[in-house]
Every structure is written in C-alpha cells, then in structure tokens.
C-alpha cells in the first residue's frame, strides 16, 4: 500500500487536468474600444481576444494581440499601432483573480469583481473591474467594460496639426468561454 502512494502521486502530477475541473477558455472573444477625436468618434474592434477563467482557483487571464484591432481605415489602424508601439508591446493583457462569489448552480448573469494587473504598452497597473459572468449551456459568458486612461500607461494620445485623440478610451469585452476539453473528462 505504501508503495502505491508515490505511484498515485506521480500519476496525479502528470495528469492534473483530469482532476482539475472548471477551466474555460476562448480564443475568439470580442473586444472593442471607442475613441473620441474632435467632431467624431470611431471604434476599433477585434475578435481575437484570448481568455481563460479557472473557477477552481479563481484565475482570470485575458490577452489580445493589439495588431488585430480594426478601425475601418487602414491608415488609422497604422497610426494606432504606431502610437501603441505594437511591434515592441504586442499584447494588452489582464491577469488576476475573481474576488467575488460566483454561483455555478444558476444560469442567471451575475455581477462579479476581478482584481489583478492590466498591462498595455509595456506598463502594468493594478486594476479592479466589475462585469457580468453567466453560466450558459456553452460555458461561461463574460461581459465587462471600463474606461482606460491611456496616459496612465505612458501612451501619448496621437495628435498632429488638426486633431488629438481623447486620452480616455471606453473599452468593452464580450466572450463565451467553453470548458477546456480535458476538464470535461473529470
């Protein structure tokens, strides 16, 4: 019996996912930002938001390749990438924990709070967000929005000659995360 203990331990260590439930992931989440310049606003959208939520340890991990944002005008996209220095800092990312309760027994949207670190343009700041999380037939549906002051991340609002982009950008994300396949085995 005592010999079996390390063997079981090795097996459990090598195949932890089979007992680790409640992990959800997406690679096609939706993210958008709205920018204001004098006389009009424009929106950048991307459907390449990657996200992982692990309810077993409350991990919340999201990132997006900034080059995937599309504002409708190539020239404006290029200017955005230049401003964000996406060659040097390709990702915007959040890594933190779910700090409020989430009841997995109901299918109703629930307000939840996450706390962690948000990084963009190579600058990391603490961030606490409130959004909604909902258990659905497909997995977990997440929605969140907040206002990002880009100057806090050393991003200089582009402005030359006639216009200047507002430093406050409204961010929204929406994604449905599906159970990680191996979790369903558990």
Partner 1 sequence: MLKKTTLLFTLLIFISFSARAQMERERVVQEGPVEETFWAPGLIGMSTVEVIGHKNINATIMHSFGLINDEPLHNFLGMDFGASVRLGIDYGITDNWSLGVGRSSPQKQYDFRTKYALFRQTTTDNVPLSITLKGDMGIDTNKNGYSFGDRLNFFASANVARKFNDQLSLQVSPMISHFNTVFTGEEKTHFALGLAGEYHISDRYALMAEYLPVLGERSEGTANAFSVGLNIETGGHVFQLFLKTSDWHTEQHIIAQNDDKFWDGDIRFGFNVNRIFWTGEKQ
Binding site for partner 1 (CB under 8 A): 2-3, 5-6, 9-10, 12-13, 16, 20, 41-43, 45, 48, 50, 52, 54, 56-57, 59, 61, 63, 65, 67-68, 70-76, 78-79, 82, 90-91, 93, 95, 158, 160-163
Minimum CB distance to partner 1, residue 108 (Å) = 27
Q: Which is nearer to partner 1, 95 or 102 (CB)?
A: 95
Q: Which is nearer to partner 1, 28 or 111 (CB)?
A: 28
How far is C-alpha 30 from the geometric centre of its chain's CA atoms? 9
Minimum CB distance to partner 1, residue 127 (Å) = 15
Q: Which of 77, 72, 73, 98 is nearest to 177 (CA)?
A: 98
8 A C-beta contact, residue 55 and residue 102: yes
Q: Which is nearer to partner 1, 45 or 127 (CB)?
A: 45
**Dist. CA 58–CA 147, nearest whole Å:** 24
**Per-residue CA distances from 19 to 26, 52, 185 (Å):** 21, 17, 8
Minimum CB distance to partner 1, residue 154 (Å) = 18
Minimum CB distance to partner 1, residue 48 (Å) = 5
Q: Which is nearer to partner 1, 68 or 168 (CB)?
A: 68
Instruction: Report helix, strand or coil for 103.
Output: coil
**Dist. CA 52–CA 44, nearest whole Å:** 23
């Amino acid at each position: 019996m005592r010999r079996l203990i390390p063997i079981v331990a090795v097996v459990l260590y090598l195949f932890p996912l089979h007992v680790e439930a409640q992990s959800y992931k997406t690679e096609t989440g939706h993210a958008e930002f709205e920018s204001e310049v004098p006389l009009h606003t424009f929106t950048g959208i991307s459907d390449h938001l990657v996200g992982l939520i692990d309810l077993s340890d409350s991990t919340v991990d999201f990132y997006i390749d900034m080059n995937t944002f599309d504002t409708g005008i190539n020239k404006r996209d290029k200017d955005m990438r230049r401003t964000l220095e996406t060659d040097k800092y390709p990702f915007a990312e959040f890594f933190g924990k779910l700090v409020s309760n989430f009841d997995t027994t109901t299918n109703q949207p629930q307000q939840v709070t996450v706390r962690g670190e948000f990084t963009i343009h190579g600058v990391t700041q603490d961030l606490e967000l409130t959004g909604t999380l909902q258990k659905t037939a497909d997995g977990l549906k997440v929605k969140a929005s907040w206002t990002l002051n880009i100057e806090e991340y050393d991003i200089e609002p582009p402005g030359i000659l006639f216009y200047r982009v507002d430093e406050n950008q409204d961010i929204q994300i929406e994604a449905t995360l599906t159970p990680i396949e191996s979790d369903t085995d558990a």
